[in-house]
Structure 1
Amino acid sequence: MREINIVEPAFVTSFKCIGSACKDHCCKSWDITLDKNTVNRYLKSSQIEIKNIAMENIITTKESFGRWGKMKIAAGSNCAFMDEEKLCRIHKKLGASALSHTCATFPRAHNVFKYEVRNTITLSCPEAARQLVAQPEAMLFNETKTLQPQPNSAGDVNQEQRLISLMCSTLLKDSGIHAEEGIYSLVGMFLYFDKIKNDENRLEKMENYFFQSLDALNAGNVTPQLAQLKPDYNLQWSLLMLMQTFLASKTTSRSSSTLQHYVTKLIYLQAEGLEQNDVSVSMQRLDRAWNNKVLPWLHAHPHVMSNYLQYRVYNDNFPASENGTHLSELYLLTAEWFLLKSLISACADLVGEVIEDDVVNIIYSFHSVTKHDKDCAKVFKQFIESTKVNDDLSLIYLLK
Structure 2
Amino acid sequence: MKINVFLPKYMEKFKCINSSCIDTCCAGWDINIDEDTYNNYTNSTGELKELLEGKFFFNEAEHDFFNNGFMALKDGNRCPFLNCNMLCDIHGGFGEKNLCITCKSYPRVFNIVDNIYEKSGLPSCIEICTKAFLDKDKMEFIENEEEINENDIEIRRIIDSEAFEGTESLFQYFWDIRVISINIIQLREYSIEERLNILKNFYWKIQSSYKLNDFDGIEKLLDDFNNEYIDYESLKGMNFKENNDFYMDIAKDDLLENIRGIRLKQCVNEYKDGIFNKNDLRTYLEENPRYFDEIDEYSYILENYLVNQIFKDLIPFNKGEEFLESIKVLINTYKIIKAYIIGIAMNSKEKINEQQIIRVIQSLSKDIEHNKVFKELLER
Asked if TM exceeds 0.5, the reply is yes
Measure how far apart 1:138 and its partner are.
7.5
Instruction: Give the secondary structure class of the aligned counterpart of 1:109.
Output: strand
Once the two structures are superposed, residues 248-285 of structure 1 have per-residue CA deviations (whole angstroms, 9 ceiling, x without a partner) of: 2323x1x2x322333234334444342xxx44333325
- Cα distance between partner residues in 1 of 2:321 and 2:251: 24
Q: Is 1:305–2:318 an aligned residue pair?
A: no
Measure how far apart 1:89 and its partner are.
1.8
Hey, what does 1:356 align to over in structure 2? Answer: 354
- Cα distance between partner residues in 2 of 1:210 and 1:359: 31
Hey, what does 1:390 align to over in structure 2? Answer: none
Q: Is the 8 A contact 1:109 1:120 kept in 2?
A: yes
- Return closer, same or farther for 1:339/1:176 CA change in 2, 3 Å cut-off: farther
Instruction: Give the secondary structure class of the aligned counterpart of 2:118.
Output: strand
- Return closer, same or farther for 1:56/1:194 CA change in 2, 3 Å cut-off: closer
Q: Is the 8 A contact 1:29 1:74 kept in 2?
A: no
Q: Is 1:192–2:205 an aligned residue pair?
A: yes
Q: Is 1:238–2:245 an aligned residue pair?
A: yes
Gaps of 5+ in 2: 149-154, 162-170
Measure how far apart 1:124 and its partner are.
1.1
Once the two structures are superposed, residues 183-214 of structure 1 have per-residue CA deviations (whole angstroms, 9 ceiling, x without a partner) of: 12223323333343333523442134425767
Code of the aligned partner of 1:160: Y
- Cα distance between partner residues in 1 of 2:216 and 2:59: 54
Measure how far apart 1:23 and its partner are.
1.5
- Cα distance between partner residues in 2 of 1:230 and 1:360: 22
Once the two structures are superposed, residues 4-56 of structure 1 have per-residue CA deviations (whole angstroms, 9 ceiling, x without a partner) of: 752111122321111111122111242223334434544555652x3322113
Hey, what does 1:86 align to over in structure 2? Answer: 86
Code of the aligned partner of 1:236: N
Instruction: Give the secondary structure class of the aligned counterpart of 2:317.
Output: coil
- Cα distance between partner residues in 1 of 2:90 and 2:239: 58
Hey, what does 1:288 align to over in structure 2? Answer: 290
Q: Is the 8 A contact 1:174 1:182 kept in 2?
A: yes
Measure how far apart 1:75 and its partner are.
4.3
Q: Is 1:272–2:270 an aligned residue pair?
A: no
Measured on the aligned residues, the alpha-carbon RMSD in Å equals 3.4
Instruction: Give the secondary structure class of the aligned counterpart of 2:123.
Output: coil
Q: Is the 8 A contact 2:333 2:378 kept in 1?
A: no
Correspondence 1:46-65 to 2 at 5 A = 48=47, 50-61=48-59, 63-64=63-64
Correspondence 1:178-257 to 2 at 5 A = 178-197=191-210, 198-211=213-226, 216-217=231-232, 221=233, 226=237, 229=238, 235-245=242-252, 247-251=255-259, 253=260, 255=261, 257=262
Hey, what does 1:117 align to over in structure 2? Answer: 117
Once the two structures are superposed, residues 117-175 of structure 1 have per-residue CA deviations (whole angstroms, 9 ceiling, x without a partner) of: 22122111121122222234573112146899xxx995512331331121111011113
Measure how far apart 1:65 and its partner are.
5.2
- Return closer, same or farther for 1:212/1:242 CA change in 2, 3 Å cut-off: farther
Hey, what does 1:344 align to over in structure 2? Answer: 341
Identity of aligned residues (%): 21
Measure how far apart 1:346 and its partner are.
2.6
- Return closer, same or farther for 1:36/1:171 CA change in 2, 3 Å cut-off: closer
Instruction: Give the secondary structure class of the aligned counterpart of 2:338.
Output: helix
Q: Is 1:163–2:176 an aligned residue pair?
A: yes
Instruction: Give the secondary structure class of the aligned counterpart of 1:135.
Output: coil
- Return closer, same or farther for 1:59/1:273 CA change in 2, 3 Å cut-off: same
* Aligned residue-pair number: 357
Gaps of 5+ in 1: 385-400
- Cα distance between partner residues in 2 of 1:110 and 1:204: 29
